[in-house]
Structure 1
Amino acid sequence: MRKFKNILILSSICIILIGAMTLFEYRHQFMNNFFESDRSDYSNYTSRLGALVLNPMDTDKVRRNIQVKNKEIEDYRHYNGSLSEQISDINVHYKEKIAEAKDAKATSVVKALTAERDKEIKKITKTFEDDKYVRAQIKKLKIEEIDRYAKNLEEDKQEFLNNFDYVAYELTDLSTGQTYTHGNMQDPALYTQKYDGKQQVLELPGIDDESSWTTSNDMTTESRGISYDLTDIVPSVSHSYKGEIRVSKTAFQNSPQYQEYQSFYIHKILLIALWILSVIAVLALVRNRPLKINVNNDHFLFHTIHKWPIDIRLAIIGVSGMGMIMDLFILSDFLANSSFTMLAEYFKIMIAILILYLFVWFITAQLQLLIEDMNTEEKRLSAYKKTLCFRILEGIRYLFWSMSLILQAMALLIFIFLAGVGFAIAALYANELIGIYFFLFITVAIPTIIIFLHRISYINEIMKQTEEMVEGRLNSEIKVRGRSVFAKHAANLNRLREGVRISLSEQAKSERLKTELITNVSHDLRTPLTSIITYTDLLKNPDLSEDERNSYIAILDKKSQRLKTLIEDLFEVSKMTSGNIELQKQKVDLNQLLQQALGEHEEDMEKADMTFRVHITDEIVMAYVDGQKWWRVLDNLIMNALKYTMEGTRVYISLEKVGQDAQFVIKNITKYELGDQNIEELYERFKRADASRHTDGSGLGLAIAQSIVDLHGGRMEITVDGDLFKVTVTVPIVS
């Protein structure tokens, strides 16, 4: 059913295309009467009737009125050149003949040739001296042309009357009032044309363009090859007529044109039926919208073309469209002009229809696949970037990316071309220039070639170094020579090599930190979890006393809270790092926020074996921050100081304005020796100064603080000087 529907749709499209093409080509021809169409000889009849029958040329009168123009006289004289040139040509022409006759001792021939030569010279001389003589010669030529035309008219007239014996007329010359009749005006007529002499007038020209009119073309001195236009000799006088012209039905049926007449109306009926069928096909397709042909994309041809770029596919569709149009022209010509009397004509029409069907099937299927491949913006962009035109434009863009390189290449090509041309000219046409060319070759060509080879060598060196970079050998730099484009490229490759080396170093560091992260997370999560499992097993002992049971439960509670804190911190720092967190910013007094954070830890600070020195500016320090998140920053930094400050030392905490920023600083002497530890690694998750990880804490404090500060557009810097650990946090202030 699906295949039948496809065939029906494609056949309807073919019918519409054939109907449209035949309507476009033959609508004027077949919408008119046969005798008003291009297939009829009627227009030929009316164009020749005047010159051949009604108002023929008066030969004697035309002869008497022949005029010769001065320009024609000059053209006749100078056709073969000036007088001296023509005389010289005649002498040259006869010189060899006379010499041969003398050698043969043919005295009579010599005399005859000499007399003939002198006669020709005399005639040429007279042509240049006597206008009357020239005028008579030209008039003679014109009379010959008139006589030839009159003879042709007489011959064509009889043939004309025989060919159109089925035409009768009764016409009156409007200027003379004379009436001309021919044939039986009472016979039944197939066609009648009336001229009332007012709105409709029959204009008949006085010259027959189809009668043979050929001028003399022999190149003798008499005719001199002069060509004359008939209208310059015979005056063309048109005559206007009124009356009636009739095509006799009986007589026309016996004429050779009758078969063409029948063929005309057969084709007319055929084409009108085709046009009606085309309209029905259009209505059927419109009614069954949307039009969609089921295309098998797995078809080998479609599957192959589907892989090609869009512009190539469009070009294929365009070429197919041109082929389809050519086939339509051929098919419409067959339908409009075939006689339908031979089997070969039917065969040609069927082949043309089959080819049209294949073209329509292919083009329609390709258009549907093309639309499906470009029905979204993403598909269109992807298709555009894969087109051949895009690739060519990209290539051209990169071709002119470095104009100096293009100019150098063009200069080298021009130089090679000029050198080759110069050598060829010097060797073939100017041997005296060989010395100069050799000097230029030594002083210009050889240095240019050396420079070119030096550049090629440098390019090869760059390519070799590039291959070493690809293979991972990044230690050797490419030498940068001069300031050429290649030197610039070498410098760029060196920067790329350094970037790759740094990238590999960072990648190694990232892998190491990833391993440490997994190890630290496992350790920090396993420690409280192990305790929870151990004390849970201990609680299963029924012989435990109440005090022991309560003690175990308290430990379980502490370890559970520890595990909860670790997991919550881990989730929070992950959210902050990914940016998947919203800030509720508002104006916050940082002085007050710091005092609240210090108040929260006042008891721990008093118990700790260390001294806190706090300096808070008296100015109001307002910042546009999320108060809860910024309090977390202060809390984490204070907790970090409580855990990792050496007993008996001081901790310095300060908040003050520095320019347009608020600066929070906390300094302490570390409990654990930092050594050569990378400061940047202290920002990493689960990284601690306590490498043995005996202290409480998630190892996420600084990482969380860093993320919160970054989200607020601030800066957090860590400085280590020996055992002195300093954290500086800055954030923009608002008035």
Structure 2
Amino acid sequence: MDTKWKNKIKIISWLVLFAFGVSGVISALINENDYYQRSYFKTSQFQVELDNLTKYIHAFEISYQSKEEMKEAITVSEDEIENQRYQYGNLTDQIRDIELQYQSRIDEAKANKNQNIADIYIRERDQKIEEISKNFESDENIKKSIIEEKEENIEEYFKELEIYRDEYENYQEAFVYYLKNIETGQIYTNLSTKDRKLVDQNINEENMYYIQSYPTKKQGYLEMKEEPVVNGYEDFIELPRTNSNALYEGKIGVSKDAPHTNRIMLDYHSYDNQRIVFWIYTIAGIMALGASVIIGKRIGIIPKIAPSEWQSKYNRIPFDAALLLQVIFVITSIALIDNVSYIYFNIDLDDILINLLFLTLFIGLTMIQAIYLYTRIKMMPNEKGVWQNTIIGRVLKGIRNFFVSLVNTFRNVFLNRRVGTQVFLILTIVFLFGILTALIFIDEDFLAFYIPAILIIGVPLFILIIKRTGYFNQILSNAAALAKGEFKPDLTIIGKSVFAKLAGDINQMKYGVKTSQNAQAKSERLKTELITNVSHDLRTPLTSIITYSELLKNPELSEDERNAYIEIIDRKSKRLKVLIDDLFEASKMASGAIELTKAKVDIVQLLQQSLAEYNETMEDSQVQFRVSNPDTPVYAYVDGQKLWRVFDNIIGNIIKYSLDNTRAYIQVQEENHQVRITFKNISKYELSEDIDELFERFKRGDESRHTDGSGLGLAIAKSIIDLHEGTLDIDVDGDLFKVTVILGLLDN
């Protein structure tokens, strides 16, 4: 426990030392222009006082005019007369405005049966109308009004000017001046004499703390800018003007006879003490800051005042809030530093300790947050969503989402323009009726509009809304039943409204659900057949393999019998392999997990190669093949190996399932930038009327399943053609079986 308290005391002591050092250094930077000067008269503060003196001399002596002189100098221009006359419009507009202004007052007085008040308002109205009319008859009335207004402004100007006279007299107590206009020779001085020799005897180093002679080497003659002491009257009265380019020579001094209570004298006498305090404070601050840096490095102050385990908690603060907080701490610390330096210079020891403690607190908080903020900024490139989690980001995101939602809402409202327009018109009519209802309470005359509008528009609209609501509820009830799988009678389609269209869509949807249910039942049936067929086709060769494997275990078997059994096992194994390979390939095709290796392929040549594979089989079969194709190559951008598999499956099916002593026709044609390959044969088995079933897995023409096919040939072939973005169609006409493959040709 003692160790913890010692560490806390060390940290607090270091912060006090550091805060004092920072305040001393920053105070030096803030006040350097004043306290680096050896004399008060070289400071910027005194220069401001000197400029104020010349400004007051110009205002109260050089360009000064009495109130009466300014009033006598008043002039009125034609533009002023025109502006005054038409500032509220032409004569008709002004009379109408006055009448409207008084009419409500007169009507109210008459309504209260107070004729005397009404007569007063009438007289006031008529008097104003008469005055306005005179303004349009003659310029004299307007000119008189403008002069009176300017005289009032002059009175106000002099009232405010006299407020500054006390300050001017305060300057005259401290300063002695003798200034002469080098062009006119006019002299301005607060001395009792204008004799230059006597002036030099009064304004000298023996009698003055400070003397400024004009002209000087740096700025030459004195140039007094014509700057008004009282602002805001330039547009209302004509202020006295002099030659603003006039130059003056002479002297300005600070008298040693000036009262010590004078503000300028107080600043002069306190400057030396403040300068001494400034340098002591600045040097002590620099030493304290240096010592705090050295001590801080030795004791490792940064990890102590800003433990790393608090970083994660600090990072929860939104970044912009943390940045704003840091700015507030910095500004507050600077303000406290300025306040502490002011207290030091005025040697107010009672407040020094309190302000130093507050300064230490805020500088400590500023440092702690600066450390965490710096670490956080370094981590920002590796963090995601920093700006989105800021307060500004959240607000902007909320505003964006609001407007997006609003736009989407309006877009959805007018998704069906007819519905959106109808709703908008209905709401507008309801809104207008609401306004009209409110106006009835203000003025009963609106009943003349309200009752016909209710009968002509309101009542029919109400009946229409009731009917549409009832129809809409019927649609909702039917839709709810459909969602539960119940089929109610078809909705009655009334008219061509959007509700009628919705009712028709729900009726159509009901038939679609029925069709989907039938398709689902068919799919379940085919799935059951698939499982049955797969089990049968895989179990048959597997049973043979197991049976003959058991027979091979008999040691008394002859060599011929053993070889025969091995041959059967080999044949059944290959049969099983074909079934499994076809099953896997069909699954890959259906899932789309197969990639095509496309190249430029001659379709005619590929078909001939496929037929060549079956030359011996075709010769042994009772089927005669008739092939017709173009004499020139037909190129397409396809996967040759996969397309060969398509041809192989179809040709194999023709050989297996064609009726003996019949012909099979294969034809290749080019048309509409496509190649059409047609396969036709007569089936030896009765074909199903449902052509789509022939594409199902393990679906074969021989329902008894005596052939060696896997039943996956057409399914695989169709999947390959689909991957090539082509089509494979089957047509059945009695026993005639026709397969058509269409592929896109290669661009020349």
TM-score normalised to structure 1 length: 0.64
Tell me the residue number matched to 1:103: none
CA contact (8 A) 1:633 1:705 kept: yes
Offset at 1:664?
1.8
Tell me the residue number matched to 1:546: 559
> What SS does the aligned partner of 2:692 have?
helix
Alignment equivalent of 1:681, drawn from 693, 698, 704: 693
Tell me the residue number matched to 1:666: 680
> What SS does the aligned partner of 2:229 have?
coil
Letter in 1 for 2:536: H
Deviations 1:95-117 (A, max 9, x none): xxxxxxxxxxxxxxxxxxxxxxx
Greater Cα offset, 444-453 or 483-492: 483-492
Alignment equivalent of 1:40, drawn from 41, 45, 48: 45
Alignment root-mean-square deviation, CA: 6.0
CA change 1:170–1:682 in 2 (3 A) is same
Q: Does 2:458 align with 1:438?
A: no
Tell me the residue number matched to 2:464: 451
Deviations 1:164-207 (A, max 9, x none): x4x67786654537766777636997998985177344334689
**Aligned equivalents of 1:297 and 1:146: distance in 2?**
63
TM-score normalised to structure 2 length: 0.63
Alignment equivalent of 1:56, drawn from 57, 61, 69: 61
CA change 1:634–1:71 in 2 (3 A) is closer
Greater Cα offset, 231-240 or 678-687: 231-240
> What SS does the aligned partner of 2:383 have?
helix
CA change 1:352–1:415 in 2 (3 A) is farther
Alignment equivalent of 2:428, drawn from 390, 395, 414: 414
Offset at 1:294?
7.7
Tell me the residue number matched to 2:408: 397
**Aligned equivalents of 1:414 and 1:540: distance in 2?**
95
**Aligned equivalents of 1:730 and 1:146: distance in 2?**
101
CA change 1:28–1:413 in 2 (3 A) is farther
Tell me the residue number matched to 1:529: 542
> What SS does the aligned partner of 1:334 have?
helix
Letter in 1 for 2:335: D
Offset at 1:652?
2.9
Alignment equivalent of 2:628, drawn from 600, 616, 631: 616
CA contact (8 A) 2:698 2:711 kept: yes
**Aligned equivalents of 2:159 and 2:409: distance in 1?**
74
Offset at 1:440?
1.8
Tell me the residue number matched to 1:565: 578
Letter in 2 for 1:199: Q
**Aligned equivalents of 1:258 and 1:31: distance in 2?**
14
Tell me the residue number matched to 2:266: 255
Deviations 1:573-604 (A, max 9, x none): 344442624345444362x6555545544544
**Aligned equivalents of 2:141 and 2:698: distance in 1?**
126
CA change 1:520–1:269 in 2 (3 A) is farther
**Aligned equivalents of 1:655 and 1:540: distance in 2?**
53
CA contact (8 A) 1:573 1:704 kept: yes
Offset at 1:140?
11
Deviations 1:338-359 (A, max 9, x none): 5345255345545655775787
CA contact (8 A) 2:725 2:743 kept: yes
**Aligned equivalents of 1:385 and 1:160: distance in 2?**
57
Q: Does 2:80 align with 1:67?
A: no
Alignment equivalent of 1:334, drawn from 317, 333, 336: 336
Deviations 1:396-415 (A, max 9, x none): 13413415444444433332
Deviations 1:95-153 (A, max 9, x none): xxxxxxxxxxxxxxxxxxxxxxxxxxxxxxxxx9999x999999999999999899877
Q: Does 2:448 align with 1:428?
A: no
CA contact (8 A) 1:529 1:559 kept: yes
Deviations 1:478-522 (A, max 9, x none): 665545555556666666666666666656655554554444333
Structure 1 runs not aligned, ≥5 long: 1-6, 80-84, 86-127, 215-226, 285-292, 306-315, 377-382
Letter in 2 for 1:399: F
**Aligned equivalents of 1:348 and 1:318: distance in 2?**
25
1:428-507 matches, cutoff 5 A: 428-431=442-445, 433-473=446-486, 481-484=494-497
Deviations 1:703-735 (A, max 9, x none): 222233334444322223444433233445679
CA contact (8 A) 2:76 2:146 kept: no
**Aligned equivalents of 1:355 and 1:469: distance in 2?**
67
Tell me the residue number matched to 1:729: 741
Tell me the residue number matched to 2:205: 185
Tell me the residue number matched to 2:95: none
Greater Cα offset, 332-341 or 144-153: 144-153
Q: Does 2:204 align with 1:202?
A: no
Letter in 1 for 2:543: T
Letter in 1 for 2:436: G
**Aligned equivalents of 1:405 and 1:38: distance in 2?**
80
Deviations 1:61-113 (A, max 9, x none): 886786253649x99xx99xxxxx9xxxxxxxxxxxxxxxxxxxxxxxxxxxx
Tell me the residue number matched to 1:582: 596
CA contact (8 A) 1:29 1:37 kept: no
CA contact (8 A) 2:493 2:504 kept: yes
**Aligned equivalents of 2:170 and 2:682: distance in 1?**
130
Letter in 2 for 1:47: N
Greater Cα offset, 466-475 or 712-721: 466-475
Deviations 1:347-390 (A, max 9, x none): 554565577578765798599669722599xxxxxx99987624
Offset at 1:682?
1.6
CA contact (8 A) 1:667 1:727 kept: no
Q: Does 2:647 align with 1:634?
A: yes
**Aligned equivalents of 1:375 and 1:143: distance in 2?**
62
**Aligned equivalents of 1:387 and 1:146: distance in 2?**
54
Q: What is the count of residue pairs matched by the alignment? A: 616
Structure 2 runs not aligned, ≥5 long: 1-10, 86-97, 99-138, 188-193, 298-306, 388-393
Letter in 1 for 2:738: K
Alignment equivalent of 2:170, drawn from 125, 140, 159: 159
> What SS does the aligned partner of 2:426 have?
helix
**Aligned equivalents of 1:732 and 1:703: distance in 2?**
21
CA change 1:585–1:452 in 2 (3 A) is same
CA contact (8 A) 1:331 1:353 kept: yes
CA change 1:566–1:294 in 2 (3 A) is farther
Offset at 1:535?
1.6
Deviations 1:641-674 (A, max 9, x none): 333345x563432315363533322222342x44
**Aligned equivalents of 2:424 and 2:520: distance in 1?**
45
Offset at 1:532?
1.8
